[in-house]
Structure 1
Amino acid sequence: MQQGASAAPAFAKGADISWVPGMEAQGRTWKDKNGVQRDIIQILKNDYQINSVRIRVFVNPSNDYGNGYLNKERAAALAQRAKNAGMSVMLTLHYSDSWADPGKQTKPAAWRNYTFQQLMDAVWNYTRDVMNAMSSRGVTPDWVQIGNETNNGLLWEDGKASVNMRNYAWLINTGHNAVKSISSGTKTIVHLATSEDNALYVWNIGGLIANGANFDMIGMSLYPTASNWSTLVNQTISNANNMITRYGKEIIISEIGMDYNQPAAAKSFIADMKTKVRNLPNGKGKGVFYWEPQASPGYNGGYNKGAWQADGRPTVALEGFLN
């Protein structure tokens, strides 16, 4: 058993906190609902029962640290801080120098001219480097995402799923094997957006498995509105049930969010998602993560799906996590 091998919570109630170090570097602080300024991680843990954090890692981010562009060293420092607070850690490896999502999966500049074999070697070495950076600070992640929202694969064009599903599968396998080579107890995740889209998941996850990819869990993203969240949660749960039936994989909701101006709806949305994921068959529903709840309105170019107000106090949204 590796040092600190997985002791993940039975059910993760999580928050992506990747912007926290940058916000703090900009002098931002947070208050609790009583208006008392406290450490944001302590507020999340003690006031909202958040037991897990999600941290994204870029390869060579050129952007301003103040805007939260975490390389492996900054990510490891944040992970250590969360672990010291008694929380579990999910890493999201973007395999890019900036945001990877359904619309863009840009290779790191340093990898741009690699052959496919060199690309696989880079994924292997980089994944191990990040895991070792974590280990050097006493952190063994409970979960690692091999890519972020890889609806059409990753590391385009080589790993674009619609062009070469085999390459996509081999890249996922390489990342999975690299994680396991450092920590056999860490769970690997393939993460797709649009959690309600069953056809996408059957094509992508089914395509990976048909091409021999190994991974432990399926991650999902959902960003509904106050008017459609209930419908989309039910479609997400239907899709999750289908994934469990078809592939036997565990399900984790890697990202959810809703506009900070709709806090009551967001609270209901979180509570409903939490309950329904927890009740997935055979204990296969493993958790729900809110994306960057500590973001203030309009942060970093206009992000408005945080759970804090302009006055530094939280909305009621995260109360949806409370038992």
Structure 2
Amino acid sequence: MKFYINAFVVLACFNLASCQNDAGSTEKDPVVTVPITENGSFSKGADVGWLSQMEATGYQFYDADGSKKDCLQLLKDRGINTIRLRVWVNPSNDKASGHCSPAETVTMAVRAQKLGMRIMIDFHYSDSWADPGKQTKPAAWANHSFTELLNDVYKHTFDVLTLLKTAGVTPEWVQVGNEIPDGMLWPEGKSANFGQLAQLLNKGYEATKAINPAIKVIVHLDQGNDNGRFRWFFDNAKVNNVKYDVIGMSYYPYWLKSDYKVTIADLQNNLNDMVSRYGKEVMVVEVGGDYTLEQNTHDMLVAVIKAVKAVPNNKGLGVIYWEPEGEKSWSGYQLSAWRSDGKPSKALDAFKE
């Protein structure tokens, strides 16, 4: 997701050096983790990576009646049953790109799970935003060889998931890379060198399955309406033996400068084609619409949910809104689903209908 925000200086990130486990450790975890949610129910989700930062700056959330309420509860009241959380390796405390540390991600995951939410973890493998236009290696990995990068991906993935497990959280989904049509960890992991990208993706997959084989691993591209883009990438993934369970898509008609009615059929076609061509499950892991056009965004969400539910054989797993709580005056982000008075947009009612 590409955007610009204007927030405030926030609290320092957590230091995890004392609580991360070695990836090769065989010591048994004494904490009993909460089982993964049974498969079969449709995921209606929200990515809330900004929430800790918003709360740290004192932002208040309100229900329709004007009462203060926890943001996660507000989302749950509107039908949201899944929370997606991005995680960065060593984030700064910058007002625009800080937070989302492993420790902060664990804290938010625990909060969400206590409300009965399902959890998705989105690994960016960067210290800040990773998307189609930038896939910058973490500073600590910048001078590492490719062999070292493979170890970095495995260990970081394993360590973060171990922190979650120790806190009693087993994510239902883990996303290895964020919007990676041109790869990740540039330049070594660019998709022009798909063989190396495949190895990096497989390290994330292997680390995830080492924590719990039932966790589903997602590979995520943008422009979910572009079937050619997806066929090119996942044909290469097949040739290079990439291991994954779910094909994740972003879908933003706003950035396509088009009404959703023009491209929703292309999204439906691509969802169906990915299932029939590769035998995988599919999920729209990012979607959003203009916060000023509540009815249009509501109707778009209804159409996207309908498209994913229409995928044959229940292979369409769910739809996740990207940062509905990121209200414009705080974030500068046009595609939130929140009003200037701190209340949720009626667009989110699409998730409870």
Question: 1:282-293 to 2 correspondence within 5 Å?
Answer: 282-293=313-324
CA RMSD of aligned residues (A): 1.6
Identify which of 42, 52, 57 aligns with 2:87.
57
Q: For residue 41 of structure 1, what is the aligned residue in structure 2?
A: 72
| Contact 2:161 2:211 survives alignment (8 Å) | yes
Question: 1:94-113 to 2 correspondence within 5 Å?
Answer: 94-113=124-143
- Aligned pair 1:30/2:91, yes or no? no
| Contact 2:33 2:168 survives alignment (8 Å) | no
Distance 2:205 2:300 in 1: 32
Structure 2: gaps (5+ residues): 1-31
Distance 2:206 2:229 in 1: 25
Distance 2:262 2:84 in 1: 26
| Contact 2:91 2:98 survives alignment (8 Å) | no
- Aligned pair 1:177/2:206, yes or no? yes
The amino acid across from 2:281 in the alignment is E
DSSP 3-state at the match of 1:218: strand
Identify which of 190, 201, 212 aligns with 2:241.
212
Distance 2:50 2:40 in 1: 23
Distance 1:8 1:283 in 2: 10
Distance 1:310 1:318 in 2: 15
- Aligned pair 1:15/2:46, yes or no? yes
Q: For residue 149 of structure 1, what is the aligned residue in structure 2?
A: 179
Deviations 1:100-153 (A, max 9, x none): 000010110111111111100110000000101111111000000000000111
DSSP 3-state at the match of 1:235: helix
| Identity across matched positions, percent | 41
Q: For residue 107 of structure 2, what is the aligned residue in structure 1?
A: 77
How far off its partner does 1:178 sit? 0.4
The amino acid across from 1:243 in the alignment is M
Structure 1: gaps (5+ residues): none
TM-score scaled to structure 1, two decimals? 0.95
How far off its partner does 1:69 sit? 2.3
Question: 1:108-257 to 2 correspondence within 5 Å?
Answer: 108-162=138-192, 164-225=193-254, 228-257=259-288
| Contact 1:6 1:140 survives alignment (8 Å) | no
Distance 2:33 2:206 in 1: 15
How far off its partner does 1:236 sit? 0.9
Deviations 1:236-259 (A, max 9, x none): 111111111110110010100111
DSSP 3-state at the match of 2:328: coil
How far off its partner does 1:68 sit? 5.5
Distance 1:272 1:196 in 2: 13
DSSP 3-state at the match of 1:318: helix
Distance 1:133 1:244 in 2: 33
The amino acid across from 1:305 in the alignment is L
DSSP 3-state at the match of 2:237: helix
Instruction: Give structure 1 regions of 4+ aligned residues with deviation exceeding 4 angstroms.
Output: 65-68
Instruction: Give aligned pairs, total.
Output: 320
